[in-house]
Amino acid sequence: MDAIEVNDLYKSFGDVKAVQGVSFTAEQGTIFSLLGPNGAGKTTIIAMLSTLLRPDQGDAKIMGYSILENPMGVKSVLGVVPQEIALYEDLSARENSTFWGKMYGLRGSILKARVDEVLEMIGLTDRAKGAVSKFSGGMKRRVNIGVALLHKPQVIYMDEPTVGIDPQSRRNILDSVVALKNQGMTVLYTTHYMEEAQELSDKIAIMDFGKIVASGTHAELVKIVGQLDRITLTINAEGSQVLETWKAISGVAQISSENGFLTVLAEDSNLVLPRLFDSAASLNVRITSVNILEPNLEAVFLHLTGRALRD
């Protein structure tokens, strides 16, 4: 069953077309990622799917509840981790958790037990009594995530939960996202880090300028750019001097020269690169720069949009 079913959503802010006809589905118990650079429209989609923003056009169903017709139904199955910290900073981690637990309908001993569990999970049991305002950025993020999980929602949205935190906290969060999926939750995850999308996702939609430019499993997406590594080089000579020789090197599938850059497509850059350096030495040419792009989401994004993901 599809836990999330998004149908042709549109949203503009004045002249800015933030979301332009986005559709996708996420199966229950899977992680679905929206991958795209800043300004792609990820947060706007999350806002519409959490019924905070009304779409200009289109609809979506979350566990069968329409965001237009039954926003309360949607909210009842939802946990949202907003991109920006959304907590009462004058209150402690425990007070925040307890309050938000109540807002998610938990009471009494269940509430208390869940608050303890979540504080343990985000590693803040020892600091639970401290005011959130005194926390580091990473600790705040963890509380920000924790409070959305108190009620074990069926569907959880996480909007760039790892932005601006230390590697260890990040590792922690990524592991807990997988743990959530293993508990049967459906996760809608947004990020501009392709490694995260790659590691976590069952399905990925690549977004740019309010549109999904490609979607599918990681393997499916990578196929768009083929299975070959892309090596981009510059040399201290005309490209034509090496072009013919390098074409013949074993492992090189294709080579082209353009604007002073040589682009080599190869099955395995690890094997091919030393051969290229040997050949260059024998031709008395120096290789002045090398850039290797493995067939990953970064390459897919570059291929589809002509821009790097991390602009």
Partner 1 sequence: MIRTFDIMLKDIHQILIDRQTFLFLLIMPVAFTFLFGYASGGFSSGSSDSRLPVGYITRDDSWFSQEMHELLADSEVIRLQEFPANKLDEMDKLIANEKLAAGIIIPERYGADFLKGKPIKITLIADNSATSTTTVKSAILSTLIRLDSAAQTANIMEQMIGNRTPFDYIFEETLSAWETPLIRISKIESSAIDPEVNETLAYISPGMMLQFAIAGLMTCAQIIVNERKSRSLQRLFTTATRRIHILAGHYLAILGIIFSQFTLLILFGTFALKVNYLRNPPATFLVAFASALCIAALGLLIGVVSKNEDQAVVFSLIPMFVFSGIGGAWMPLEFTSPTFQKIGHISPIAWAMDGFENIASRGLEFNSVLIPVAALLGYATAFFILAAWRFQVSQEH
Ligand X SMILES: Nc1ncnc2c1ncn2[C@@H]1O[C@H](COP(=O)(O)OP(=O)(O)O)[C@@H](O)[C@H]1O
Interface residue list for partner 1 (CB under 8 A):
50-54, 72, 75-76, 78, 80, 82, 84-91, 95, 99-100, 102-105
* CB of 31 or CB of 46, closer to ligand X: 46
Shortest separation between residue 272's beta carbon and ligand X, angstroms = 36
79 binds ligand X (CB under 6 A): no
- 21 burial via Cβ count (<10 Å: 0-12, 13-18, 19+): middle
Location of structure tokens 């017709």 = 69
* CB of 12 or CB of 305, closer to partner 1: 12
The amino acid that residue 152 corresponds to is K
39 binds ligand X (CB under 6 A): yes
CB of 2 closer than 8 Å to CB of 25 = yes
β-pairing, 229-235 with 261-266? antiparallel
Shortest separation between residue 136's beta carbon and Mg ion, angstroms = 22
CB of 21 closer than 8 Å to CB of 211 = yes
The CA distance from 67 to 199, in Å, is 29
* Binders of Mg ion in range 292-311 (CB under 5 A): none
Site map 5..34 versus ligand X, x via CB under 6 A:
--------x--x-x----------------
Token pair for residue 35? 């991958």
Out of partner 1, Mg ion, ligand X, none, what residue 44 binds, judged by CB under 5 to 8 A for its kind, is ligand X
The CA distance from 132 to 78, in Å, is 24
Q: What is the CA radius of gyration of the chain?
A: 24
169 binds Mg ion (CB under 5 A): no
Cβ-Cβ contacts under 8 Å for 116 (sequence gap 6 or more): 125
CB of 145 closer than 8 Å to CB of 187 = no
Out of ligand X, Mg ion, partner 1, none, what residue 170 binds, judged by CB under 5 to 8 A for its kind, is none
* CB of 90 or CB of 238, closer to partner 1: 90
44 binds Mg ion (CB under 5 A): no
Location of structure tokens 């208390």 = 112
* CB of 110 or CB of 271, closer to partner 1: 110
Binding test (CB under 5 A) with Mg ion, winner from 3, 32, 41, 43: 43
Binding test (CB under 6 A) with ligand X, winner from 6, 22, 41, 51: 41
- Interface positions with ligand X (CB under 6 A): 13, 16, 18, 36, 38-44
